[in-house]
């Protein structure tokens, strides 16, 4: 099975004198589900940031599809890698305009064309969360919609692209349980080749993972199973 992403001896620090990650090596196989777990401050979100090239390693290399991730144009990475955060980025405009953001295929589509695309992906039912559907206004700083609604927009925007790698960082924390189940059903229908990575803050989110990676004190270790991951979490201490 081919590797969609690989860390080769990756080290990284926000300041030169202190590395968050130290000589990390691991591979993500295409089509598998992974969970990143570890104590607060252990490096989970930093690892995800390197996966999507929010940062570059201070040493080593991140490989995406067998190529140095630095060799890709930003637009190509944005299309192939979906990263959904707890607090997603939105801008002033409409819900439809925010969904189209960064999608070359849909950037000039009408609302009717966008709606048809949403229906084909099973995403149109999520629009009931917005008073005026795609035409709902998003104000400056998106203060007129809830955090849960922001996350729904982020999910729709990413899932429309059917990314090769989907990374979720506490992405459903502010979504009601019914909508969370809807999104889970939609994610389950993504192509079998899609690799999924969940940054897990709750144990129940890692049970379905094919592999659990424990991140702490600058290192990444593969847990043998769910029970091993729980044990690592219970005994893991944040490094200095």
**Predicted pLDDT of residue 6:** 97
**Predicted pLDDT of residue 240:** 33
* Number of continuous H segments (helices) and E segments (strands) in the chain: 7, 12
Along the 240 residues of the chain, how does pLDDT read in single tens digits? Answer: 578 999 999 999 998 888 899 999 999 999 999 999 888 888 888 999 999 999 999 999 999 999 999 999 998 998 899 998 877 888 889 999 999 988 888 989 999 999 999 999 889 988 998 999 999 999 876 678 888 888 889 889 998 988 999 998 876 767 778 877 887 888 888 888 999 999 876 666 677 889 989 888 888 888 877 777 777 777 764 433
Adjacent-strand bridge partners of 6: 27, 63
The count of other CB atoms within 10 Å of the CB of residue 64 is 24
Compute the chain's Rg from CA coordinates: 18
Name the 3-class secondary structure at 79: helix
Where are the domains positioned within the chain? 31-42+74-235
Query: The tokens of 41 are what?
Result: 């401050």
* Cβ–Cβ < 8 Å for 199, 167: yes
As a whole number of angstroms, the distance between CA 97 and CA 109 comes to 10
**Predicted pLDDT of residue 223:** 81
Query: The tokens of 47 are what?
Result: 């690892």
As a whole number of angstroms, the distance between CA 182 and CA 202 comes to 19
As a whole number of angstroms, the distance between CA 211 and CA 224 comes to 8
Q: Is 174 left (phi over 0), alpha (psi -120 to 50) or beta?
A: alpha
Measured over all CA atoms, what is the biggest interatomic distance in the chain, rounded to whole angstroms?
54
CATH class of the structural domain 31-42+74-235: alpha beta
As a residue count, the chain comes to 240
As a whole number of angstroms, the distance between CA 187 and CA 171 comes to 12
* Cβ–Cβ < 8 Å for 184, 99: no
Helix or strand run (H / E) with residue 49? helix 44-51
**Predicted pLDDT of residue 165:** 96
Contacts of 239 (CB under 8 A, 6+ apart): 42, 216, 217, 218
* Cβ–Cβ < 8 Å for 156, 94: no
**Predicted pLDDT of residue 16:** 80
Q: Is 54 exposed, middle or buried (0-12, 13-18, 19+ CB in 10 A)?
A: exposed
**Predicted pLDDT of residue 236:** 61
As a whole number of angstroms, the distance between CA 131 and CA 117 comes to 20
Phi (first) and psi of residue 206, to 5 degrees: -105, -5
**Predicted pLDDT of residue 201:** 67
């Amino acid at each position: 099975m081919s590797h969609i992403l690989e860390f080769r001896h990756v080290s990284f620090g926000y300041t030169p004198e202190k590395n968050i990650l130290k000589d990390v090596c691991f591979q993500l196989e295409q089509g598998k589900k992974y969970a990143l777990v570890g104590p607060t401050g252990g490096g989970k979100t930093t690892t995800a940031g390197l996966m999507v090239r929010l940062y570059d390693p201070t040493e080593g290399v991140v490989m995406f599809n067998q190529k140095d991730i630095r060799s890709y144009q930003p637009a190509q990475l944005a299309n192939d890698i979906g990263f959904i955060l707890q607090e997603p980025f939105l801008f002033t405009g409409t819900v439809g305009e925010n969904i189209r953001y960064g999608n070359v295929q849909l950037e000039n589509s009408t609302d009717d064309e966008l709606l048809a695309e949403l229906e084909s992906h099973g995403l149109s039912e999520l629009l009931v969360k917005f008073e005026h559907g795609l035409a709902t206004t998003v104000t400056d700083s998106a203060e007129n919609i809830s955090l849960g609604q922001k996350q729904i927009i982020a999910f729709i925007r990413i899932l429309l692209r059917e990314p090769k790698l989907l990374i979720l960082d506490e992405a459903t924390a502010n979504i009601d349980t019914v909508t969370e189940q809807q999104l889970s059903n939609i994610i389950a229908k993504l192509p079998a080749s899609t690799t999924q990575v969940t940054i897990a803050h709750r144990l129940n989110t890692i049970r379905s993972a094919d592999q659990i990676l424990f991140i702490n004190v600058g290192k990444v270790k593969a847990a043998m199973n769910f029970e091993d991951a729980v044990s690592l979490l219970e005994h893991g201490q944040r490094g200095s």
